[in-house]
Structure formats: C-alpha cells, structure tokens
Amino acid sequence: MKRHSVEPDKNREPILKVLETVLPPAAVVLEIGSGTGQHAVFFAQRMPSVTWQPSDVDGSAIDSIAAWRREAGLPNLRAPLQIDTTQETWDVGAVGAIVAIDFTQAASWPATVGLLAGAVRYLPHGGLLVIYGPFLREDRTASTLETVEAELRRKNPAWGVRNLETIAAVAVGRGLLLEQVVDMPGHNLTLVFRK
C-alpha cells in the first residue's frame, strides 16, 4: 500500500524553504493531491507546529498516505481525506492554508478551477493558497516545458502545463490575490495566493 516516488525527495527541501516563510506557525494546512504521502510526512516532521491535513481524490493514494502516516506516527499529521476538487463541497474542517504540489499539471482544468474555488470557500480571510509546479508564463519560453507537456498529455489528454496568467486571472475573479511567484529548481514555480 505504501508507495514511493522520486519527485518528492527531489523537491521537498526547496518547497519547505518557501512554506517556512509563508505559512503561519500554527496553521492547519490542507494538502490537496498528496499522492504517495511523502510530502505530508516530511513537512509534518520539519514543521511540528503546523498541523498537516493530507488529501487525495484517488483511493490508492489515500491508502499510501495512510501507510506513510502510520509509519511516521506524527501527532501533527492527520488521517488523509478523500477530496475531489471538482465537487462543490469538500469534507474538511477549518484550515488556515491550502497547499497543492504538482497538482495543476496532473489534473484536469475543471479540477484546477475547483482548487481555486475551494480555496475561496474554505480559507479564512487572509488565508493562503500555495501551488507548486511547472507553469507557462509570458516571460518564459514554452520550449523549456515542451517535454513535460508532451509526457503529461501522453498519460492523460486532460493534463498539461497551465498558464500562470490564466490561473492568476481565474483566481482574482474568485477573490484570491497572487502575492508571490517564486522561481524554483527544474522550471517550476511556487505561486502564493492570499484570500
């Protein structure tokens, strides 16, 4: 049941550095699309004052997250929730921040819009939405992400590298302000939105 991926081991330290600077010290953080559960365990270990709430839409991912959680035995790591961002309501309590790592490119556009809409519904005023992944933007050449885009589309035609300006426009239209765009290793960005 416990799955492992190399990506979380590669990107967890740079993502942690950003999270440590933007997350409130005692926040309850909802992670959307927790995948294997590796990030959830790592961030809960490294930020003990933060309560980490993992989630995923996929049942096998939920099983993997639960296995990682059992092994880690961390008091600030909650049991995983099954959340589909395309649904109007999510079964989640109060949260101070939402984090989505490598979600938007491996999800349909409706799921990405649902993430933004859900952030507006479930975050308090001033709450943060942090999204990490590859993004197209006006000041970057698309050729640097062509290989990533092609690989994603081979796996699922609904997936793909999203346009930063498009996501920002949809977010603003729903009541989120893009506060920061942080350049990350490997042609990735971290977007920090505030409600």
Report whether pLDDT(140) > 70.
Answer: no
In this predicted structure, the answer to whether residue 122 has a pLDDT above a threshold of 70 is: yes
Interval 55-66: pLDDT, tens: 999 999 999 999
pLDDT in tens, 146-174: 777 777 777 877 777 888 999 999 999 99
Query: Is the CB of residue 175 less than 8 Å from the CB of residue 121?
Result: no
Sign for the pseudo-dihedral over CA of 151, 132, 5, 143:
positive
Q: Please report the pLDDT score of residue 9 as a whole number.
A: 83
Domain edges within the chain: 6-194
- 55 phi and psi, to 5 degrees? -160, 160
Confidence of residue 143 (pLDDT cuts 50, 70, 90): low
Residue 175: what pLDDT? 96
Residue-level pLDDT at 137: 81
φ, ψ for residue 33 (rounded to 5)?
A: 70, 55
Evaluate the CA torsion angle 71, 40, 155, 14 in order and state its sign.
Answer: negative
Return the C-alpha torsion angle 168, 21, 26, 53, nearest 10.
50
Give pLDDT, residue 16.
97
Tell me which residue of 64, 97, 94 sits closest to 82, measured CA to CA. 64
Find the mean pLDDT for residues 133-149: 74
Q: How many residues are recorded in the chain? A: 195
The CATH-assigned architecture of domain 6-194 is: 3-Layer(aba) Sandwich (3.40)
Poorest-pLDDT segment among 31-35, 96-100, 139-143, 153-157: 139-143
- Residue 109 or 147, more confident: 109
| Confidence band of 128 (pLDDT split at 50, 70, 90) | very high
* Structure-block tokens of residue 150: 């092609």
Q: In the prediction, which pLDDT does 151 show?
A: 76
Specify which of 2-16, 75-89, 154-168 reaches the highest per-range mean pLDDT.
75-89
pTM, entire model: 0.93
Question: How is residue 108 written in tokens?
Answer: 């349909």
